Amino acid sequence: MRVGLFVPCYVDQFYPGAAIATLQLLEKLGVDVVYPKNQTCCGQPMANSGYEHLTGGCNKLFIENFQGFDYIVSPSGSCVLHIREHLHDDKQPELAKEVAHQVWELTSFLTDVLKVESLPSRFPHKVGVHQSCHGQRGLHLSSMTELVAPGFSKPGSLLNMVKDLELVELDRKDECCGFGGTFCVVEEAVSSKMGKDRVADHLRQGAEYITGADMSCLMHMEGILKRQGSNVKVLHIAEILNSQ
Protein backbone atom coordinates (compact mmCIF):
# COMPACT_ATOMS: atom_id res chain seq x y z
CA MET A 1 0.00 0.00 0.00
CA ARG A 2 1.48 3.32 -1.11
CA VAL A 3 0.21 6.33 0.72
CA GLY A 4 0.75 9.95 -0.23
CA LEU A 5 0.96 12.25 2.77
CA PHE A 6 -0.94 15.47 2.27
CA VAL A 7 0.18 18.10 4.74
CA PRO A 8 -1.96 21.25 4.57
CA CYS A 9 -0.08 24.51 4.10
CA TYR A 10 -0.60 25.91 7.60
CA VAL A 11 0.38 22.59 9.20
CA ASP A 12 3.53 22.52 7.07
CA GLN A 13 4.41 26.05 8.12
CA PHE A 14 3.24 26.26 11.73
CA TYR A 15 2.67 22.79 13.08
CA PRO A 16 5.30 20.50 11.56
CA GLY A 17 5.04 18.39 14.73
CA ALA A 18 1.55 17.26 13.75
CA ALA A 19 2.75 16.22 10.32
CA ILE A 20 5.83 14.43 11.68
CA ALA A 21 3.65 12.51 14.12
CA THR A 22 1.27 11.55 11.32
CA LEU A 23 4.16 10.27 9.23
CA GLN A 24 5.77 8.35 12.08
CA LEU A 25 2.48 6.85 13.20
CA LEU A 26 1.65 5.59 9.72
CA GLU A 27 5.18 4.20 9.33
CA LYS A 28 4.87 2.49 12.69
CA LEU A 29 1.74 0.81 11.42
CA GLY A 30 3.68 -0.51 8.44
CA VAL A 31 2.47 1.88 5.79
CA ASP A 32 4.73 3.01 2.97
CA VAL A 33 4.36 6.80 3.13
CA VAL A 34 5.62 9.33 0.65
CA TYR A 35 5.49 13.10 0.98
CA PRO A 36 5.30 14.71 -2.47
CA LYS A 37 7.37 17.79 -1.94
CA ASN A 38 5.73 20.20 -4.37
CA GLN A 39 2.35 20.16 -2.67
CA THR A 40 0.93 23.36 -1.20
CA CYS A 41 -2.70 23.83 -0.25
CA CYS A 42 -6.12 22.37 -0.93
CA GLY A 43 -7.53 25.74 -1.97
CA GLN A 44 -10.11 25.94 0.78
CA PRO A 45 -9.04 29.36 2.12
CA MET A 46 -10.02 30.95 -1.16
CA ALA A 47 -13.05 28.76 -1.80
CA ASN A 48 -14.69 29.33 1.56
CA SER A 49 -14.25 33.04 1.06
CA GLY A 50 -16.19 32.86 -2.17
CA TYR A 51 -13.21 32.60 -4.50
CA GLU A 52 -13.45 28.99 -5.55
CA HIS A 53 -12.79 30.18 -9.10
CA LEU A 54 -9.26 31.10 -8.01
CA THR A 55 -8.40 27.60 -6.85
CA GLY A 56 -7.38 26.27 -10.27
CA GLY A 57 -3.68 26.47 -9.42
CA CYS A 58 -4.13 24.57 -6.17
CA ASN A 59 -6.25 21.93 -7.84
CA LYS A 60 -3.72 21.40 -10.59
CA LEU A 61 -0.85 21.11 -8.12
CA PHE A 62 -2.80 18.73 -5.95
CA ILE A 63 -3.57 16.38 -8.81
CA GLU A 64 0.02 16.52 -10.10
CA ASN A 65 1.41 15.68 -6.70
CA PHE A 66 -1.04 13.06 -5.62
CA GLN A 67 -2.13 11.03 -8.62
CA GLY A 68 -1.11 7.40 -8.59
CA PHE A 69 -1.21 6.72 -4.85
CA ASP A 70 -3.39 4.00 -3.35
CA TYR A 71 -4.49 6.42 -0.69
CA ILE A 72 -3.85 10.03 0.18
CA VAL A 73 -3.88 10.68 3.91
CA SER A 74 -4.00 14.00 5.69
CA PRO A 75 -4.10 15.12 9.31
CA SER A 76 -6.87 17.65 8.56
CA GLY A 77 -10.55 16.86 8.24
CA SER A 78 -11.34 20.24 6.83
CA CYS A 79 -8.88 20.08 3.96
CA VAL A 80 -9.89 16.51 3.18
CA LEU A 81 -13.53 17.50 3.02
CA HIS A 82 -12.69 20.35 0.70
CA ILE A 83 -10.77 18.09 -1.67
CA ARG A 84 -13.48 15.45 -1.62
CA GLU A 85 -16.22 17.94 -2.41
CA HIS A 86 -14.52 20.46 -4.60
CA LEU A 87 -11.39 19.11 -6.31
CA HIS A 88 -11.95 19.48 -10.01
CA ASP A 89 -10.08 20.00 -13.23
CA ASP A 90 -11.98 20.86 -16.35
CA LYS A 91 -9.26 19.35 -18.53
CA GLN A 92 -9.18 16.00 -16.76
CA PRO A 93 -12.40 15.69 -14.77
CA GLU A 94 -12.17 11.92 -14.37
CA LEU A 95 -8.68 12.03 -12.90
CA ALA A 96 -9.70 14.80 -10.51
CA LYS A 97 -12.61 12.73 -9.31
CA GLU A 98 -10.43 9.68 -8.85
CA VAL A 99 -7.87 11.62 -6.82
CA ALA A 100 -10.60 13.25 -4.74
CA HIS A 101 -11.96 9.85 -3.82
CA GLN A 102 -8.61 8.63 -2.60
CA VAL A 103 -8.21 11.31 0.03
CA TRP A 104 -8.65 10.18 3.62
CA GLU A 105 -8.59 11.99 6.88
CA LEU A 106 -6.10 10.37 9.28
CA THR A 107 -8.46 9.02 11.97
CA SER A 108 -10.89 7.55 9.47
CA PHE A 109 -7.99 6.03 7.54
CA LEU A 110 -6.75 4.40 10.75
CA THR A 111 -10.25 3.22 11.66
CA ASP A 112 -11.78 2.23 8.34
CA VAL A 113 -8.84 1.30 6.12
CA LEU A 114 -6.13 0.07 8.48
CA LYS A 115 -8.77 -1.10 10.98
CA VAL A 116 -6.48 -0.32 13.87
CA GLU A 117 -7.58 -2.02 17.06
CA SER A 118 -4.70 -1.29 19.36
CA LEU A 119 -1.86 1.18 19.61
CA PRO A 120 1.44 0.99 21.46
CA SER A 121 1.06 4.52 22.78
CA ARG A 122 0.82 6.05 26.23
CA PHE A 123 -0.30 9.52 27.26
CA PRO A 124 -0.97 9.89 30.98
CA HIS A 125 -3.17 13.00 30.87
CA LYS A 126 -6.70 14.30 30.91
CA VAL A 127 -7.66 15.09 27.35
CA GLY A 128 -10.61 16.91 25.79
CA VAL A 129 -11.51 16.16 22.18
CA HIS A 130 -12.59 18.96 19.94
CA GLN A 131 -14.90 17.67 17.21
CA SER A 132 -14.05 19.84 14.27
CA CYS A 133 -17.17 20.48 12.25
CA HIS A 134 -15.88 19.59 8.83
CA GLY A 135 -14.48 16.29 10.05
CA GLN A 136 -17.52 15.50 12.10
CA ARG A 137 -20.47 16.79 10.10
CA GLY A 138 -18.74 16.65 6.73
CA LEU A 139 -16.75 13.42 6.93
CA HIS A 140 -18.77 11.75 9.68
CA LEU A 141 -15.81 11.06 11.93
CA SER A 142 -18.25 11.01 14.84
CA SER A 143 -21.97 10.89 15.41
CA MET A 144 -23.60 14.29 15.61
CA THR A 145 -25.75 15.46 18.50
CA GLU A 146 -28.37 16.88 16.15
CA LEU A 147 -29.20 13.55 14.56
CA VAL A 148 -31.21 10.64 15.89
CA ALA A 149 -28.62 7.97 15.18
CA PRO A 150 -26.33 5.59 17.08
CA GLY A 151 -23.36 7.22 18.76
CA PHE A 152 -19.73 6.67 17.69
CA SER A 153 -16.47 8.56 17.50
CA LYS A 154 -13.48 7.54 15.46
CA PRO A 155 -11.09 9.94 17.18
CA GLY A 156 -12.58 8.94 20.54
CA SER A 157 -12.15 5.22 19.92
CA LEU A 158 -8.54 5.72 18.85
CA LEU A 159 -7.79 7.81 21.92
CA ASN A 160 -9.31 5.12 24.09
CA MET A 161 -6.58 2.78 22.83
CA VAL A 162 -3.94 5.04 24.35
CA LYS A 163 -2.70 3.86 27.71
CA ASP A 164 -3.37 6.04 30.77
CA LEU A 165 -5.24 8.61 28.78
CA GLU A 166 -8.42 9.96 30.33
CA LEU A 167 -11.00 11.54 28.07
CA VAL A 168 -13.16 14.28 29.56
CA GLU A 169 -16.87 14.73 28.78
CA LEU A 170 -17.78 18.14 27.46
CA ASP A 171 -21.00 20.02 28.22
CA ARG A 172 -21.41 20.72 24.54
CA LYS A 173 -19.99 17.79 22.66
CA ASP A 174 -19.84 19.19 19.18
CA GLU A 175 -20.14 22.93 19.13
CA CYS A 176 -18.05 24.81 16.58
CA CYS A 177 -14.94 26.59 17.89
CA GLY A 178 -15.49 29.60 15.65
CA PHE A 179 -12.37 29.39 13.51
CA GLY A 180 -14.14 29.14 10.17
CA GLY A 181 -11.27 30.21 7.88
CA THR A 182 -11.49 33.92 7.09
CA PHE A 183 -14.48 34.05 9.46
CA CYS A 184 -11.94 34.31 12.27
CA VAL A 185 -10.92 37.77 11.10
CA VAL A 186 -14.01 38.97 9.23
CA GLU A 187 -16.21 38.19 12.23
CA GLU A 188 -13.55 38.67 14.88
CA ALA A 189 -15.91 39.32 17.79
CA VAL A 190 -18.10 36.26 17.35
CA SER A 191 -15.18 34.05 16.34
CA SER A 192 -13.21 34.94 19.46
CA LYS A 193 -16.22 34.50 21.69
CA MET A 194 -16.94 31.08 20.22
CA GLY A 195 -13.34 30.10 20.76
CA LYS A 196 -13.36 31.31 24.34
CA ASP A 197 -16.53 29.39 25.09
CA ARG A 198 -15.20 26.21 23.55
CA VAL A 199 -11.95 26.46 25.49
CA ALA A 200 -13.87 27.19 28.70
CA ASP A 201 -15.82 23.95 28.35
CA HIS A 202 -12.57 21.95 28.19
CA LEU A 203 -11.14 23.86 31.14
CA ARG A 204 -14.29 23.26 33.20
CA GLN A 205 -13.85 19.54 32.71
CA GLY A 206 -10.25 19.70 33.83
CA ALA A 207 -8.60 18.88 30.50
CA GLU A 208 -4.82 19.25 30.40
CA TYR A 209 -4.74 18.91 26.64
CA ILE A 210 -7.19 19.73 23.90
CA THR A 211 -6.85 17.54 20.87
CA GLY A 212 -8.64 17.00 17.59
CA ALA A 213 -8.26 15.97 13.98
CA ASP A 214 -7.99 19.49 12.64
CA MET A 215 -5.06 21.70 13.44
CA SER A 216 -6.83 24.87 12.30
CA CYS A 217 -9.41 24.71 15.10
CA LEU A 218 -6.65 23.82 17.54
CA MET A 219 -4.59 26.78 16.36
CA HIS A 220 -7.57 29.02 17.05
CA MET A 221 -8.06 27.59 20.53
CA GLU A 222 -4.36 27.69 21.21
CA GLY A 223 -4.36 31.40 20.40
CA ILE A 224 -7.02 31.91 23.04
CA LEU A 225 -5.38 29.66 25.64
CA LYS A 226 -2.07 31.47 25.25
CA ARG A 227 -3.69 34.86 25.47
CA GLN A 228 -5.33 33.76 28.69
CA GLY A 229 -1.99 32.55 30.00
CA SER A 230 -3.35 29.04 30.40
CA ASN A 231 -1.11 26.02 30.87
CA VAL A 232 -3.48 23.85 28.89
CA LYS A 233 -1.98 22.83 25.57
CA VAL A 234 -3.31 21.80 22.22
CA LEU A 235 -1.96 18.76 20.41
CA HIS A 236 -2.98 17.21 17.14
CA ILE A 237 -4.46 13.77 17.67
CA ALA A 238 -1.60 12.22 15.70
CA GLU A 239 0.84 13.51 18.29
CA ILE A 240 -1.05 11.77 21.08
CA LEU A 241 -1.57 8.55 19.13
CA ASN A 242 2.13 8.57 18.32
CA SER A 243 3.34 9.30 21.83
CA GLN A 244 5.23 6.74 23.86
Partner 1 sequence: METTTTQDKNPPLQGAGGSHAELADIFNKDEDRVNWHDETLWWIRAKRDKSVHQLPEWEALREAASNIKFNVLSHLDIYLAQFEAAAKANGIIVHWAADAKEHNEIVHKLLTDAKVTQMVKSKSMLTEECHLNDYLATHGIEVIDSDLGERIVQLAGEPPSHIVLPCIHKKKEEIGDLFHMYLGTPSNMSDPQFLTETARGSLRETFLTRKVALTGVNFAIAETGEFVVCTNEGNADMGAHLADVHIACMGIEKIIPKREHLGVFLRLLTRSATGQPITTYSSHFKKPREGQEMHIVLVDNGRSIQLGREDFRNSLKCIRCGACMNTCPVYRRSGGHSYHTAVAGPIGSILAPNLDMKKYADLPFASTLCGSCSNVCPVKIDIHDQLYKWRQVLVKEGYTPKAKTVAMHVMATTLGSSTLYHAAGKMGRLTIKYAPFAVNNKLNPWYKNRDMPESPKESFGEWYAKNRKK
* Contacting partner 1 within 187-226 (CB under 8 A): 187-197, 216, 219-220, 222-224, 226
Report which of 32, 30, 44, 126 is spatially closest to residue 79, judged by C-alpha positions. Answer: 44
Letter string b/e over residues 215-244, b meaning 16 or more CB atoms within 10 A of that residue's CB: bbbbbbbbbbbeeeeeebebbbbbbbbbbe
DSSP characters over 26-45 = HHHTT-EEE--TT----SHH
Which range touches partner 1 (CB under 8 A), out of 93-101, 103-111, 140-148, 151-159? 140-148
The least CB distance from residue 211 to partner 1, in Å, is 16
Which position among 3, 4, 6, 9 is part of the footprint of partner 1 (CB under 8 A)? Answer: 9
The least CB distance from residue 115 to partner 1, in Å, is 26
149 is a contact residue toward partner 1 (CB under 8 A): yes
Nearest to partner 1 of 117, 189 (CB atom): 189
Walk across the sheet containing 103-105 and list its strands.
Answer: 32-34, 2-5, 71-74, 103-105
Which position among 92, 113, 166, 175 is part of the footprint of partner 1 (CB under 8 A)? Answer: 175
148 is a contact residue toward partner 1 (CB under 8 A): yes
30 is a contact residue toward partner 1 (CB under 8 A): no
Walk across the sheet containing 166-167 and list its strands.
Answer: 166-167, 126-130, 209-212, 233-236
Query: Within 71-100, which residues bind partner 1 (CB under 8 A)?
Result: none
